[in-house]
Amino acid sequence: MSGRARLTLASWAATLMAAGALLPLVKPATWIFTAAFVLALVSGTGTLVRRAAPARSLTPAAQAVVALLALTALFAREQAVLWLFPGPRAVTYAAELFRAGAEDVGRYAVPAPDTEGIRLMLVGGVVVIGILVDALAVTFRRAAPAGLPLLALYSVAAGLSGGGAGGLWFLLAGAGYLLLLLAEGRDRLSQWGRVFGGAQRTGRPGTTVGSGGPSFAPVRTGRRIGAVAMGVALVVPFALPGLNGGLLLNGGGGEGSGGSGGGGTISTVNPLVSLQDDLRQQEDREVLRYRTNATDTSGMYLRLVALDQFDGLSWKSSVRPIVDVPERLPWPEGLAQDVRVTEVTGNFVASGNYEQKWLPMPYPAARVDVEGNWRYEPAGRMLVGDGKQTTRGARYQVASLDVRPTAEQLAAAGPAPQELRAEYTKVPPSLPADVRATALKVTEGARNDYERAVRLQDWFARDGGFRYDVDVKSGTGVQAVSRFLKDKEGFCVHFSFSMAAMARSLGIPARVAVGFMPGTPQTDGSVSVGIRDAHAWPELYFEGAGWTRFEPTPARGSTPAYARATTPSGSATAPAQPQQ
């Protein structure tokens, strides 16, 4: 192997070793393999261009072009020209993805989920550092200064981790830098020929060789770089925001106080991160158990959070005000007095192993008695733990409303309030046209929003040829929706978010709730809820009934009586035909 080839390989390895400090920040850490692949393409490009082009500056330029094409193919393939070249649509989408990633960095606690936005930032950042390291160490033969971009990469990881990246990752990054210096030193010595001890003699300009003479120039430079590096390593982490802000944010974006004041805002971490893993669990561990005076628990879904913001990349919960938990929660928005409502009470005990920032509750809750530092978010009607408060071992009582509108009432529902309709029917400009076209085809002939909602639900659950598969890659963005409508395989995440997106495209206010199915009744009269009861379902708004649950996921949960495929007159609706 030639000296330059060793330098190229050492630069690739040193960059990845420094990037190791980022691994604890994101789970799963599979992004590192993507970064290694793109870096390999960049390194190979550098090797080819250095052989063919005499101008050194052409090498990093060519590497940057190849990196751009690779990132486009990996992250914006469907928007790119010929799936590779970054046209205007791909650039716009990548900018949105990067923006979403920046928001996610401030939104999530460590370890953050491997969202597409965070993944783009990680892979793109490591590749940029890799190009700089390769340019300095290999193209311009200055391995010592290449330690600065490696240090920058480590320092960013140390700063984002909040408590530092840890000694192991520092040693790994340092070992990568030493590997790079050793590769350069071996390359230089191979160009000088055999070195004999004894009298000092002059070698290449700027260096001397001998047993008692001055140090090599690269070594002296390396010492200077090392001194600067140590100083920067001590200072930079303290200047970076930590990726540990938690869930409760104040107006300044920091972690909320643990007090019980009435102000503040909530920025919720997307609970979909662990939903697929929960459904794949081999052992259905119990997360909570409850007793209730309800005669029928089949519709008692336990809701954690509502996701109402759809930006094209994912669904998130909006940043909203939070207040102290009132003695009795307000009457549900849009629920009329003539709709059948029964108040039921449940006593809940969360497992000591179940840790969650949201309190699982039937929807809509009317009264919650719980000890601890809990806050109330009125728009989503959810309770979230302030500070370090979680559900671990929590015991609480919830009085909730069993709302049972009739098909006739839903069919006769008037228009939603203008402000609510404007907020909950928003779809991103990047939503593919075929999503709305499919929704129009499935609901063709429906006379009102209620019938459209039932048609959409039944198309997903029964008539559209969809198959439930928990191993399909998770995703809630526009690409995931479009892919799901084409492949027709997925689990509750795909079904619920696709139905919500299609409902919004038809002008029906929609959001998605995440939580648990009702659980399994036990012989002692209690109901056990397991980790594999984790679920997501759409909620559509109907004036007079408020936010109303639908169940598009086949073989999961129960379809409410009001959402079964009958018209208000009692006759069966025509089944929706699958998209051809």
Whole-angstrom Cα distance, residue 276 to residue 79? 27
Q: Is the pLDDT of residue 454 over 80?
A: yes
In this prediction, residue 162 carries a pLDDT of 55
pLDDT band at 199; cut points 50, 70, 90: very low
The rounded distance, in Å, linking the Cα atoms of 519 and 557 is 9
**Are the CB atoms for 274 and 391 separated by under 8 Å?**
no
Is-contact 261 250, C-beta < 8 A? no
Highest-pLDDT range among 186-195, 209-218, 459-468 = 459-468
Query: What per-residue confidence (pLDDT) applies to 355?
Result: 84
Does residue 324 carry a pLDDT above 60?
yes
Of 270, 337, 189, the C-alpha closest to 476 is 270
Query: How confident is the model at residue 574, as a pLDDT?
Result: 44
Query: pLDDT, tens digit, for every residue of 511-523?
Result: 999 999 999 999 9
Average pLDDT for residues 485-506, to the nearest whole number? Answer: 93
Question: In the beta sheet, which residues pair with residue 537?
Answer: 513
Phi, psi (degrees; rounded to nearest 5) at 372: 115, -175
Query: Among residues 307, 305, 363, which one has the least CA distance to residue 335?
Result: 363
Average pLDDT of the residues in 451-477: 89
CA 247, CA 262: separation in Å to the nearest integer? 16
Cα angle 119, 26, 42; round to 5: 40
What's the start-to-end Cα distance of the chain, in Å?
56
The domain locations on the chain are 3-239, 272-563
pLDDT value, residue 53? 72
Distance CA 105, CA 26 (A): 10
Residue 167 pLDDT exceeds 90? no
- Copy the structure tokens of residue 526: 């209690």
> ∠ CA(262), CA(267), CA(269), 5° rounding?
135
Binned at pLDDT 50, 70 and 90, residue 498 comes out as very high
pLDDT for the residue numbered 572: 41
Average pLDDT, the chain: 81
Per-residue pLDDT band for 566 (boundaries 50, 70, 90) equals low
Report the pLDDT value the prediction gives residue 358, as an integer from 0 to 100.
92
Q: What is the three-class DSSP state of 558?
A: coil
Q: Assign domain 272-563 to its CATH architecture.
A: Roll (3.10)
Edge to edge, the sheet with strand 534-542 lists: 361-362, 302-307, 510-516, 534-542, 546-549
- 3-state SS, 465-519, equals CCEECCCCCCCCCHHHHHHHHHHCEECHHHHHHHHHHHHHHCCCCEEEEEEECCC
Contact present, 158 and 9 (Cβ < 8 Å)? no
Q: What is the DSSP letter of 20?
A: G
How many residues are recorded in the chain? 580
Residue 94 pLDDT class (50, 70, 90 cuts): confident
Q: What is the pLDDT of residue 165?
A: 55
- Looking at residue 52, what is its pLDDT? 85
Name which of 429, 563, 443 is nearest 503 in CA terms: 443
pLDDT in tens, 417-439: 999 999 999 998 888 899 999 99
Q: What is the pLDDT of residues 36-58, one digit of tens each?
A: 999 999 999 999 998 887 778 88
In percent, how much of the chain has pLDDT > 70?
78
For the four alpha carbons of 388, 392, 394 and 398, in that order, the dihedral sign comes to positive
HSE-CB of 380 using CA atoms within 13 angstroms: 33
- pLDDT band at residue 239 under the 50/70/90 scheme: very low
Better-scored residue on pLDDT, 226 or 462:
462
